[in-house]
Amino acid sequence: MAESFVLRCPVPGASADEAEWLAVDSGGARIGEPERGTLAAAAAAVGGRRVVVLVPGEDVALSFPELPARGAAKLLKLIPFALEEQLAADVETLHFAIGRQTSDRHVPVATVEREHLTGWLARLAAAGLSPAALYPDSLAVPDNPGHVVVLIDAGRVIVRRPGALPLVLDADPVESALALAGLEPTEDSALSAQHLLVYASTADWRSNRVAIEALRDSVASLNVQLMPHGPLPLLASTVVTAPPWTLLQGEYAVRGQGFASEWPRWRLAASLFAAFLVLHLVTLGVDYWRVHREELKVDQQLRAAATEALPNIQNISRLPSVRLAVESRLRATRAAVSEGLLGTLGALAAATAAAPGTLINSLSYREGTTDLTVDAPDVGALDRLREAAKGRGFEAELQGAAQHDTRYQGRLQLRGPRS
């Protein structure tokens, strides 16, 4: 389970350099006991855990304005103008952090002096601490849907009503703080319907017991939970199981290492590439479908042609490949025309045209060899006939020639044609 290192600095009621820390698991259960010491000691105890820092809630103003815009960037631009009249300081000296906008367009806002925030981060960095999140401790007080939660902590009171932002008040005296928060001994019917849940350390309970018990008759119920180890275990559990919005936004946002930190810069390019890749794959799919459809048409036409070209085959569909069968038949036909007796006769017809006056007296063909008896007007005609046959790819051999009267009788043998 992922573990978090929750650091509280500075600790209310202690020196500015004193810190308090506790390790918790992902379910908010504490690992060990809370410890106190310097920031350097805290840094030595981190042990590779995720660091979460709690700062004093009284230094962070919380508000819940209604804003018309949507989107974090637009909201951050509008907030200084929306809160300007409510803020005593110059907005240029303030840092704003926002939570999730509600459906009715209200936005939770945390406002802190830049000087405070910069100082906290500088002290943490000097000790070698890099917080993943930084929250006001008031937002770490649990939001209980059925109870008004009151945390008494070292001279201050944090009050959180169901579904509302917490209120941080000075607890000196605690009766005045409770009255300012709308919690005081009264016969008010609205208060009598409320259930009150009070968290306090043993020391704080002893100091404020009378003021708290005075409320018992004014509320529907009063439950007190003592915290022997102080409020840190409660606060740490809340920020892990129900984390509020961090102050580390905008220019103070955490810049991670590696791919996670660079991803926002490349998100648009990656999205465009992914869209292009999807479009390309869709185009390829459509092209494949079209080609396949055309191939089916060609196959149908080929089968029809094969039925006519291969009449001796009864069932064309049983052939492993109609295309190969048709091509084989075509090759056989071409061979019969160009290489067999027909091919020889075609070559002789062309050859005799090269030797005018030449007559074929006899012809014998067997297994690619043709024996001819030729009557020519002269010996040169016999030689031209032989050369013409060679030009057609045949092996031509003049086996003899004799003169009869004014003409010549010759025997010619043809083989081939050569490939």
Kindly indicate the confidence band of residue 257, based on its pLDDT and cuts at 50, 70 and 90: very low
Using CA atoms, how far residue 397 sits from 76, 94, 227, 413, 415, in Å, is 102, 111, 121, 5, 9
Q: Which of 120, 42, 243 is nearest to 34 (CA)?
A: 42
Is pLDDT of 82 > 60?
A: yes
Of 211-225, 273-287, 332-346, the one with minimum mean pLDDT is 332-346
CA distance 224 to 213: 10
Q: Which of 123, 66, 129, 125 is nearest to 98 (CA)?
A: 66
Q: Looking at residue 6, what is its pLDDT?
A: 97
Coil, strand or helix at 42: helix
* Mean pLDDT confidence for 43-62: 94
Is pLDDT of 364 > 50?
A: yes
Angle at 341 between CA 340 and CA 342, to 5 degrees: 90
Contacts of 108 (CB under 8 A, 6+ apart): 62, 63, 64, 98, 99, 100, 165, 245
CA distance 36 to 11: 9
CA distance 253 to 130: 12
Element (H, E) at 228: none
Residue 214, class by beta-carbon neighbours within 10 Å (0-12 exposed, 13-18 middle, 19+ buried)? middle
Cβ(26)–Cβ(240) under 8 Å?
Answer: yes
For the ranges 234-238, 294-298, 315-319, the maximum mean pLDDT occurs at 234-238
Strand locations in 243-358 (E): none
Q: Looking at residue 419, what is its pLDDT?
A: 43
Q: Which 8-state DSSP code applies to residue 358?
A: -
- pLDDT tens for residues 307-361? 666 666 666 666 666 666 666 666 666 555 555 666 777 777 777 777 788 888 8
Q: Which of 201, 110, 100, 102 is nearest to 156 (CA)?
A: 201
User: What's the token pair of residue 112?
Assistant: 């802190």
Kindly indicate the confidence band of residue 265, based on its pLDDT and cuts at 50, 70 and 90: low
Looking at residue 40, its amino acid is A
Q: Over the chain, what is the mean pLDDT?
A: 84
Is pLDDT of 231 > 90?
A: yes
CA distance 388 to 382: 10
Is pLDDT of 52 > 80?
A: yes
* Mean pLDDT confidence for 284-290: 89
Cβ(244)–Cβ(141) under 8 Å?
Answer: no
* Mean pLDDT confidence for 44-50: 93
Q: How many residues does the chain have?
A: 419
Is pLDDT of 259 > 70?
A: no
Q: Looking at residue 211, what is its pLDDT?
A: 92
Classify strands 148-153 and 195-201 as parallel, antiparallel or unpaired.
Answer: parallel
User: Token match 């084989």: residue?
Assistant: 328
Cβ(113)–Cβ(94) under 8 Å?
Answer: yes
CA distance 350 to 343: 11
Coil, strand or helix at 339: coil
* Mean pLDDT confidence for 364-376: 82
Is pLDDT of 115 > 90?
A: yes
Is pLDDT of 264 > 50?
A: yes
Is pLDDT of 56 > 60?
A: yes
* Mean pLDDT confidence for 239-264: 77
Q: Looking at residue 30, what is its pLDDT?
A: 92
Cβ(402)–Cβ(409) under 8 Å?
Answer: yes
CA distance 168 to 143: 14
Question: Angle formed by the axes of helices 341-354 and 322-338, to 10°?
Answer: 40
Q: Looking at residue 418, what is its pLDDT?
A: 53
Q: Which of 156, 193, 162, 199 is nearest to 178 (CA)?
A: 156
Is pLDDT of 245 > 60?
A: yes
Contacts of 200 (CB under 8 A, 6+ apart): 151, 152, 153, 208, 212, 224, 225, 226, 227
- pLDDT tens for residues 385-394? 888 878 877 8
